[in-house]
Structure 1
């Protein structure tokens, strides 16, 4: 990561990620940078009830671990029984949820995936039309814009895989590979397609995309950990469409989605070069170390070396 000015001066990627006078502010967020997933601390994770990390590798018993398919919290089967949350006799087939709220939220997300697109609110369309009219030769009347929720586990159709592939391309265009420090494998495809890798489960990742005239122009990766917090580890706009209001519109759609689910807090990692943009333009603030440790104890978030973790309260839902 680019933490020393002396190193930055002699590194092409670092120079590309640095601020440039007169550059578009939104572009600073998505300039290329290397991101390496931090190795989890020993006090991170574990059973959400007892905080213990021990589990049974074979058979079924009190130390068997089961993971909620929405909030992704881990639970010992015995702890669930002792706390009168569930009296499991065997591992359930299909999805399992730790509470009614998680089950309802997952059902709602499945519904969004099945809808295959939502019209952009009028207020956002006005912003985009104004910027496109100013910067592009395209007629604003020709714009067909919608936003959509994707998940490769829920919808594995050819169309869904095509759109997810475009998300991967946008993230690779704007970021260097996100790697797991031990093996160095690029995790972006696994995150987008909702696959697991070396104990890291990404099935709860949803891609939120902005589609203009059937072309994916912006994409974000969103994971909702129940009503308390959601994370946005990646969000970017294709270089060909930057400066036209699409990034801000996608982010607004994400906030509206979270507000409709009554999620209280949105968390994201930010490179040093983009801190002022996220804080001044989008209203984020740094999470203090004590609060970050507590969040990481509860949720398996994506934490990247060399980035700061920011948070903001999700604005209340408004209707145009």
Structure 2
């Protein structure tokens, strides 16, 4: 059995012994390993269905500080800013177009990103596959969501993430649209995502970083090195965590809301 949210695999015998779950037949609908995973899944679906979302108050304060003393009026910039959670196969009419824009921004910022397959070959469809929740080689990205920050309906920053239950969420890729770099939008989007993860009661956010970017993630976004033993624990429990070659995995504890 595979949990719809954390994507961990469970043997039916183990469910009976350790979790008091006397499963006698395959469930007809989605199956969750526990109440928390079911709640996380339901809450994410609710956020996707809401469409455009107001930014949390903490984000507004940071943006006002960022724009202080600049020509742009912070009140105007902030009032035109929304954020949104996207999921492939959503019923929203503009979902496909927005995901395509997410894919374009990520491909512009990571033009050489590819996945090394089992046979050693490289597949350049990695970003498309992640954004649209598809499968490539042994990697299944069904649980991926996209988070986007928008100004007047134009996407300025994007991130793709996956929540593995309450223990950990991963953020494999995040990027700002080239014409909108160095304006604080990446920090704004990450704060929105952290607010969401706090609502979901997720404990930790992890991300892969190139060595050249590690100091930036630590200084500006308060990430820390993830110890090897802890990473091994995560990858043992959640085998779909995305590995990237030549990266360092960082982590950040999520404050409870």
Q: Same fold (TM over 0.5)?
A: yes
Q: Secondary structure at the match of 1:269?
A: strand
CA contact (8 A) 2:56 2:195 kept: no
2:248 is aligned, of 294, 301, 308, to 308
What CA deviation, in whole Å up to 9, does each residue of 1:20-42 have, x standing for no partner? xxxxxxxxxxxxxxxxxxxxxxx
CA contact (8 A) 1:133 1:140 kept: no
Please show how residues 55-204 of structure 1 align to structure 2 within 5 Å: 66-128=1-63, 131=66, 141=76, 143-153=79-89, 155-182=90-117, 183-185=121-123, 186-204=125-143
Q: Secondary structure at the match of 2:186?
A: helix
Distance 1:294 1:126, change over 3 A: closer
CA contact (8 A) 1:269 1:308 kept: yes
Distance 1:168 1:157, change over 3 A: same
- Mapped to 2, the partners of 1:285 and 1:81 lie a distance apart of 39
Answering whether residue 183 of structure 2 is matched by residue 244 of structure 1, we say yes
Distance 1:306 1:69, change over 3 A: same
What CA deviation, in whole Å up to 9, does each residue of 1:80-115 have, x standing for no partner? 233344333333233211111100110000000010
- Mapped to 2, the partners of 1:219 and 1:122 lie a distance apart of 20
- Mapped to 1, the partners of 2:26 and 2:135 lie a distance apart of 19
Structure 2's unaligned 5+ residue stretches are none
The offset of 1:191, in angstroms, is 1.0
- Mapped to 1, the partners of 2:8 and 2:14 lie a distance apart of 13
- Mapped to 2, the partners of 1:292 and 1:122 lie a distance apart of 33
CA contact (8 A) 2:170 2:241 kept: yes
Q: Secondary structure at the match of 1:223?
A: strand
Calculate the TM-score normalised by the size of structure 1.
Answer: 0.72
Distance 1:130 1:284, change over 3 A: closer
Please identify the structure whose Cα radius of gyration is greater: 1
User: How large is the RMSD of aligned CA atoms in angstroms?
Assistant: 2.1
1:257 is aligned, of 193, 196, 214, to 196
